[in-house]
Structure 1
Amino acid sequence: MKKKVLSILLCLAMAFAIVGTIAPAKAEAASVKLNKKKVTIYVGDTYQLTLKGAKGDITWKTSKKAVATVKDGTVTAKKAGKATISAKYNGKTYKCKVTVKKRTITKCESAFDAVANMKIGWNLGNYFDANGNWVQGNTPEDYMTCWGNPIVDESLFKKLKEMGIGAVRVPVTWVNHFDEKGVIDPAWMARVKEVVDWVLANDMYCIINVHHDTGATEDTMDRWLYASPANFDKNQELFSVLWAQIADEFKYYGEKLVFEGFNEMLDEDSNWGECTMEAAQAINEYNQRFVDTVRKAGGYNATRNLICTTYAAGNFESAVYFYSAPSDTVKDHIIGQIHFYEPYDLTMDESGGTRKKFTKEDGELVDAIIDFAGEAFTTRGNGRTAIPWIIGEFSITNRNNDSARIEWFKRVITDAKRWGATCFIWDNGDPEVMGFIDRVGTEKWYEDIVKACVEVANEPTN
């Protein structure tokens, strides 16, 4: 009897031991899942499959190498068709059905149509363009917030769309985010791409550029692009490497994504006034290099609309007169750009300026400058081609003079419209200076000013 009981107990112990080993195995198997069971990708693209929960070796296979290959879970689309990707792990096979489609690239709308369709734009200022060699930390977020602005999400762009904004300019400074060979930090590119996706998802045009890589020399900032023949000779290759990566990253983004070669490029003396012919020639050469580089990048870049800026983004005589639109492989896909902060003592003088009223004389000055730029861009002679243009930045600082600010904004927009130009409000995120929209909260700030701009931009042109 005792032997029989012992035998039963021994059998039970063995059974529990077997169950004890089977249970964890079943639990592990249940937790292992392929991140996708079905995916559609385009020829030339890749997609990363992941076997979540797997803790050992995985064997990846494809049913049709001609359609899609796989290595370590990375699926590469080869030609249109269907294939099944399998991942074998711990005796079990997990499958994902892959459909590969041929991408259809259509020609982008003309530059004239793009500018007209933008209507009114807004700048995400002091965000991706924020920089400084004093910044503590090296993450994208460290730089995005280093000038005091919060991290934004898609709700901001939903708000902009609801307010009637037609385009968002996203200034980007790259200098702190590429290595000595010019290779861009993937984390930085991913953050830029995230915002581009949000803008486009809300059916607005998006402009990205090379921003404070240019500008006045400052000890606290790492400028490297200047309007001089020597600087062009030194940095033209690095400039091309940078733009080649940006263009490749976004090559399958459609016509509503527009590239801008550079922001306010100055000579090596940081001169904001009338420029020399040499400085203007360097501007023209950098613009040409930008266009040539993007056009070679494939996809929609073959006809993407490209913005080419004057010296210092200036609207003064030498900057506009010496400006020459680059030659291009396609017709009508170049856009000119100036910025507008005149009269300076009213709009942004920070050296104790107190002027608040927008006078008759101010209006006449605005008229004269914009008419000069408009005539230069759109009725060009001497063999130079007429091109559409934008005022990529315009704004007026807050001196508790809302009525004057609205009057100034309306005058600039109305004048620009007569020449077919679209204007972009510069918003630095600070309501006490040039901040108009609360980017993450629910406060109204100066949305009434933005709405006034939207209204006049959408009025019929006489």
Structure 2
Amino acid sequence: MQKLHSIPCLLLAAVLLVGCGAQETVQDSRPPAESVRTSMREDYTTAELVSDMGLGINLGNTLEACGDWIQGDSVTSYETAWGSPVVTEEMIAGYAKAGFQTVRIPVAWSNLMAEDYTIAPELLERVETVVQYVLDNDMYAIVNLHWDGGWIAGFSTDFDTCMEKYTRIWEQVTDTFQDYGDHLILESLNEEGCFDDLWNRYSGSDSGKAEAYGIVNDINQTFVDLVRNSGGNNARRHLLIAGYATDVDLTCDEAFRMPEDPAGRCAVSVHYYSPATFCILEEDADWGKARSRWGSPREQRVLESDMDKLKETFADKGVPVIIGEYGCVVRNKEEESVKLFLSSVAGAARSRGMCPVLWDVTDVFYDRTACQMKDEDLHQRLLAAK
């Protein structure tokens, strides 16, 4: 998700005390990097993999940074445009030291792309390098197609052109990563898989709903078909399928369909920023009044109910669930409420066999220079959810 910037479909926001110098000790205790990069466990189910993915964290506002105002045409100029320092081996190793087992890597593939949708080799190489940093620390990496300037919204008005671009992107990405093992997961979309120009939940009508959901279902099926036919380990790679707007209720709607997969290795992704007035609003808006606190018995029950709905709709029917993003803004929020919300979501997800992936941008929850969590109390509460 694109945080601290405008986002279509949903109003979503941005949302270990071992120093970087201790990296060598961690490396000595890891399995050989090459085996993690290339091994594909044939008898390992997606449910087992999701359980093993533990706690995750997003490398937010980094490789998905985009905008016409960005100066320069290098990977670095985009990577640092939204405030992130250049990603280093030490930064990623710090995630592992902090107890995270999964790193989600949002990517804007259009940043360095020719008119025929050919992605610049240097961008593919940079994403591959960051993935290798993750795998070298025996963590799981999720690579996706993120907001990417918002072109995905065009599926509702020019399906064929958008599908051509979508297909070309994934042809190149799957070719790059075809020999990687099952510690690499590919994700079909971010949260842009929704088309409010056709239908939205507040319209009071089902007119256009089937068409809107049909586009998302078609995109996800195309993704699975393309990956499975792209060669190498992609035939058996575990895949992450974006729900409708990655919204819990909209994804649990019967209009959303998981794609057919001959390998039977797909999980579903939703995001969790609820209630929006706490997680998203820093100050009052025309659609809601900002709330600084979270954690009442009713709010806890809503969280548990949402997680139960995901479990009953998907996990209990053989489709594992990854909370690809969860989080909240911190400005104008009670510190204890922020910690309680984040640890409660992580705990509720883990207790149901799901993998929660914290949305984080530069120096909000994790210090990308010191390579450690900023708040040890929050850190320990998250670890308790594992």
When normalised by structure 2's length, the TM-score is 0.81
Quote the offset at 1:228 in angstroms. 4.8
Q: How does 1:85-234 map to 2 (within 5 A)?
A: 107=42, 109-213=44-148, 222-226=149-153, 228-234=155-161
Rounded to whole Å, the distance in 2 between the matches of 1:227 and 1:373 is 29
Assess if the C-alpha contact under 8 Å between 2:57 and 2:103 holds in 1.
Answer: yes
Does 1:362 pair with 2:299?
Answer: yes
- State the secondary structure of the residue aligned to 1:316: helix
Rounded to whole Å, the distance in 1 between the matches of 2:282 and 2:178 is 41
The AA in structure 1 aligned to 2:188 is G
Quote the offset at 1:413 in angstroms. 2.2
Percent identity for Structure 1 against Structure 2: 30
Call closer, same or farther: CA 1:106–1:113 in 2, change over 3 Å: closer
Call closer, same or farther: CA 1:107–1:229 in 2, change over 3 Å: farther
Corresponding residue for 1:251?
178
Does 1:336 pair with 2:268?
Answer: yes
Deviation digits for residues 188-244 of structure 1 (CA, Å, limit 9, x no counterpart) = 11111111000000000000000013xxxxxxxx32113855443332122111101
Rounded to whole Å, the distance in 1 between the matches of 2:119 and 2:182 is 24
Assess if the C-alpha contact under 8 Å between 2:343 and 2:378 holds in 1.
Answer: no
- State the secondary structure of the residue aligned to 1:226: helix
Call closer, same or farther: CA 1:174–1:258 in 2, change over 3 Å: same
Call closer, same or farther: CA 1:248–1:228 in 2, change over 3 Å: closer
Call closer, same or farther: CA 1:319–1:378 in 2, change over 3 Å: closer
Call closer, same or farther: CA 1:231–1:390 in 2, change over 3 Å: farther
Moved more, 400-409 or 158-167: 400-409
Assess if the C-alpha contact under 8 Å between 1:227 and 1:280 holds in 2.
Answer: no
Corresponding residue for 2:365?
436
Quote the offset at 1:356 in angstroms. 2.3
Quote the offset at 1:405 in angstroms. 1.9
Structure number with the higher strand fraction is 1
Assess if the C-alpha contact under 8 Å between 2:94 and 2:372 holds in 1.
Answer: no
Picking from 328, 352, 357, the partner of 1:424 is 357
Rounded to whole Å, the distance in 2 between the matches of 1:318 and 1:437 is 30
- State the secondary structure of the residue aligned to 2:159: helix
- State the secondary structure of the residue aligned to 1:223: helix
Corresponding residue for 2:213?
280
The AA in structure 2 aligned to 1:423 is P
Structure number, greater radius of gyration: 1
What residue ranges of structure 1 are gaps of 5+ in the alignment?
1-102, 214-221, 381-385, 458-462
Picking from 238, 242, 246, the partner of 2:169 is 242
What residue ranges of structure 2 are gaps of 5+ in the alignment?
1-37, 203-207, 285-289
Assess if the C-alpha contact under 8 Å between 1:263 and 1:313 holds in 2.
Answer: yes
Quote the offset at 1:453 in angstroms. 1.1
Assess if the C-alpha contact under 8 Å between 1:232 and 1:286 holds in 2.
Answer: no
Quote the offset at 1:109 in angstroms. 2.5
Does 1:348 pair with 2:280?
Answer: yes
Assess if the C-alpha contact under 8 Å between 1:105 and 1:299 holds in 2.
Answer: no
Corresponding residue for 1:31?
none
When normalised by structure 1's length, the TM-score is 0.68
The AA in structure 2 aligned to 1:441 is A
The AA in structure 2 aligned to 1:358 is G
Deviation digits for residues 113-165 of structure 1 (CA, Å, limit 9, x no counterpart) = 11010011000000001111211111111111111111120111211111111
Picking from 295, 307, 310, the partner of 1:373 is 310
Rounded to whole Å, the distance in 1 between the matches of 2:186 and 2:157 is 25
Quote the offset at 1:428 in angstroms. 1.4
Rounded to whole Å, the distance in 1 between the matches of 2:154 and 2:376 is 37
Aligned length: 337
Quote the offset at 1:269 in angstroms. 3.4
Query: Higher RCO, 1 or 2 (CA under 8 Å, sep at least 6)?
Result: 2
Assess if the C-alpha contact under 8 Å between 2:220 and 2:242 holds in 1.
Answer: yes
The AA in structure 1 aligned to 2:312 is E
Rounded to whole Å, the distance in 2 between the matches of 1:317 and 1:311 is 6
Rounded to whole Å, the distance in 2 between the matches of 1:193 and 1:404 is 37
The AA in structure 2 aligned to 1:299 is G
Call closer, same or farther: CA 1:232–1:364 in 2, change over 3 Å: same
The AA in structure 2 aligned to 1:311 is Y
Assess if the C-alpha contact under 8 Å between 1:124 and 1:168 holds in 2.
Answer: yes
Quote the offset at 1:406 in angstroms. 2.2
Rounded to whole Å, the distance in 2 between the matches of 1:363 and 1:261 is 31
Picking from 181, 194, 197, the partner of 1:269 is 197
Moved more, 414-423 or 280-289: 414-423
Rounded to whole Å, the distance in 1 between the matches of 2:252 and 2:272 is 13
Call closer, same or farther: CA 1:328–1:136 in 2, change over 3 Å: same
Call closer, same or farther: CA 1:354–1:439 in 2, change over 3 Å: same
Does 1:451 pair with 2:380?
Answer: yes
Assess if the C-alpha contact under 8 Å between 1:320 and 1:376 holds in 2.
Answer: no
Rounded to whole Å, the distance in 2 between the matches of 1:201 and 1:259 is 18
- State the secondary structure of the residue aligned to 1:264: coil
Picking from 226, 235, 257, the partner of 1:293 is 226
Call closer, same or farther: CA 1:235–1:427 in 2, change over 3 Å: same
- State the secondary structure of the residue aligned to 2:367: coil
